[in-house]
Homo-oligomer: A and B are copies of this chain.
């Protein structure tokens, strides 16, 4: 049986989703717990390779296995075995060819910036503290330029190998509430570090290092080095994953 499992996690204490030698990852935890539950080695495929420190309000993963546990009880059983910073919400059976990574149609991320002279200790693991006052209106104008179908090569971390760097960003909003700026980005797919480079670039527009009119040309130039810095991971959360 192929399963589609929806989870949520606080990424603070993990080296990202993907299994690696140098630190504990969410994929490793999920595979260990599911293998123990199913009594057989169980490989888990995730919808996104979130980096160390990145969070997921919603995260979808897929795996194959056989169990007598009713599908809708699987989250409950998993939650008795998972650490408290990972929770399982929903488990559904899926088509045999379902793959949480390759069958996604759209995903959405949120990025939080605490724009205040002093950091908020209660949000230190969930936001980027940026002490210089940012011009939110200019950030919103730049977001309008970035939104749409483009070659996003300039927003892709160096060294990543993909067939095409063309993506369609369907939503890119910048909202401020109190001293918290929230950037929300939805697309048919994201390149490696793309949201964090978009946020770093919007912040460079907000602090005056780049102008709104620069952005169009910089996208054309396809040069990562012309864009803003890569925003730190802890402000980023995956918030939506959609399938056909």
List residues of A whose CB falls within 8 A of some B CB: 8-10, 55, 57, 75, 79, 84-89, 118-122, 124, 126, 237
Contact = CB atoms under 8 A, between A and B. Distances in A.
A232 to B, nearest CB: 13
Given A10-B122, A84-B124, A122-B237, 9 more contacts: A8-B121, A10-B121, A10-B124, A55-B122, A84-B119, A85-B121, A85-B124, A87-B118, A122-B126
Contacts of A86: 121
A88 B75 CA distance: 41
A131 to B, nearest CB: 11
Contacts of A55: 122
Contacts of A87: 118-121
B89 A57 contact: no
A121 B75 contact: no
Contacts of A85: 121, 124
Assembly stoichiometry (copies): 2
22 contacts: A8-B121, A8-B122, A9-B121, A10-B121, A10-B122, A10-B124, A57-B122, A75-B118, A79-B118, A79-B119, A84-B119, A84-B121, A85-B121, A85-B124, A86-B121, A87-B118, A87-B119, A87-B120, A88-B118, A89-B118, A122-B126, A122-B237
A95 to B, nearest CB: 25
A190 to B, nearest CB: 20
Contacts of A118: 75, 79, 87-89
A98 to B, nearest CB: 22
Which of A79, A84, A88, A118 has the largest number of chain B CB atoms within 10 A?
A: A118
Contacts of A124: 10, 84-85
A79 B129 CA distance: 14
A127 to B, nearest CB: 12
A84 B9 CA distance: 22
Which of A9, A10, A57, A75 has the largest number of chain B CB atoms within 10 A?
A: A10
